[in-house]
Amino acid sequence: MSDQNVAPQIDFDAIAAEDEHHFATFRISVWDYGLVALFAGLFGVVFLQFFSRYILNDSVAWTEEAARYLLIVLSFAGAIRCQATGTHIVLEFVDKYYGRALHYIHVFAGFLTFALYAIIAWSAWDLIQRTSFQKMVSLPFPKYYLHATIMSLLMVNAAVVLAQIVRRLWNVKGQ
């Protein structure tokens, strides 16, 4: 009998230990409450749309647009949390191949990330300039409110990345 027909064994004890460690070290910060509030607002708007469309048979007009914009803001705000805590999705197997140069690779990746956030924030500024006269379709706000919010969240995220770069360079210098 060949090894190809044998199913791989799953180490459930190792998975359980990893889960226990994760939940034992997980901490909720003050900043997370803002994300929870955004998510609760998004949930409320989507529930209102569902209730009004399928139960009352008369959809509230602004809920679709509000849900879309709340999801966008939640995504950019959540990206700050992930960047600050280092919980973005990463290619962990790549880290195994760099050894002592790993700190420099992370600094380089940080600079690329900072440049990406800066370019997107500059693009948001350009959108603010171009759409300053436009209103949202069903909400009584100018469209640039959304772009300004995204730009400010990107700038906060860029500041977090910059602080991480400085901290990594300081740690490399100290070694």
Instruction: Please give the pLDDT value at position 155.
Output: 97
136: DSSP letter: P
**pLDDT for res 3:** 58
Query: Which of 2-11, 24-33, 133-142 comes out lowest in average pLDDT?
Result: 2-11
- Contact between residue 113 and residue 161 where contact means Cβ atoms under 8 Å apart: yes
Dihedral of alpha carbons 65, 68, 69, 74, sign:
positive
Residues 50-56: contacts with CB under 8 Å, at least 24 apart: none
**pTM of the full predicted structure?**
0.81
Q: pLDDT, tens digit, for every residue of 129-166?
A: 998 899 999 999 999 999 999 999 999 999 999 999 99
Any idea where the domains of the chain sit in the sequence?
Answer: 10-174
Amino acid, single-letter form, for residue 153 = L
Tell me what pLDDT residue 22 has. Answer: 83
